Amino acid sequence: MKGAEVGRLLAANLLCVLAVALTAFVPAFFWDGFTVLGTHLTWLCVCSVCVSSFNIILHFVLKPNLTPKRSSFAHKISRFLKSCVSFFVSCVLFHAIIVLYGAPLIESVTETFLLAVLLSTFTTLQCLCLLGPNIQAWIRVFTKNGAMSIWESSLQITTICSILGAWFGAFPIPLDWDRPWQVWPISCSLGATFGYVAGLIIAPLWIHWNRKQLTYKSR
């Protein structure tokens, strides 16, 4: 494993962390009264759009795919449309899962769906950028020893951390602390965001510390 590749991964992940941080501060210069807690739904939209755009641009710049497929125009259009459909389906599935875990079914539909969009941005979008709309590749990556590159290992870590962050973020909601961040879905979305950021930082460090044990083979 080349140290330069780990360095590229670290730089890319730190840029993603910076992109998340900027969504909390930059909009305040253009939007009076903008705060992460006070205008949380607006922040969810801003964060999802900015992180999505940044990840797509970063993917095209770094091109981390191991085996790029044929690049005909028709294939690119087909891949793009399938990716859009996959992302939307992911949002719907996350919404359904969140409701099954106790979110309001009728009330707060907008809040729940925007949380689902945020989770899809942190998880599904990264899979689409790196693996494309290939479900078999997704299954391979998220099985034991299924990663074929440090980028796929990073994908595993950031995805798991994002989902765990959202899950842990739900714990304070039923407590009677009467804090502003206990309003649905603030604690869950903040938990998912902190989990995503933590995964971005942990992934390259974990890969660096375990580089001697990691052996990637083509499958």
List pLDDT tens digits, range 105-163.
Answer: 888 899 999 999 999 999 999 999 999 998 999 999 998 778 888 999 999 999 999 99
- 68 lies in some domain: no
| Residue that wins the pLDDT comparison between 190 and 143 | 190
Q: How many domains does the chain have?
A: 1
What's this model's pTM, rounded to 2 decimal places? Answer: 0.92
Q: Taking 50 as the threshold, does the pLDDT of residue 219 lie above it?
A: no
Asked whether residue 199 is assigned to any structural domain, the reply reads yes
Other Cβ atoms closer than 10 A to 19: 18
* Structure confidence at residue 179 (pLDDT): 86
pLDDT at 146: 80
**What is the C-alpha to C-alpha distance for residues 79 and 89, in angstroms, rounded to an integer?**
15
pLDDT at 63 over 90: no
Distance CA 169, CA 163 (A): 10
Is 87 part of any domain?
Answer: yes
Residue 110, domain member (yes or no)? yes
Residue 27 pLDDT level (bands cut at 50, 70, 90): very high
Q: Which of 171, 172, 169, 175 is nearest to 188 (CA)?
A: 169
Establish if 67 belongs to a structural domain. no
Residue 171 lies in a domain: yes
The Cα–Cα gap between 166 and 117 comes to 12
Lowest mean pLDDT among 5-19, 51-65, 93-107, 150-164: 51-65
- pLDDT of 5 reads 85
Instruction: Decide if 36 is inside a domain.
Output: yes
Per-residue pLDDT, 2: 63
Give dist(CA 5, CA 84) in Å, integer: 29
> What's the domain range around 119?
1-62+73-217
* Spatial separation of the C-alpha atoms in residues 25 and 127, rounded to whole Å: 27
Question: If pLDDT is split at 50, 70 and 90, which confidence band does 67 have?
Answer: low
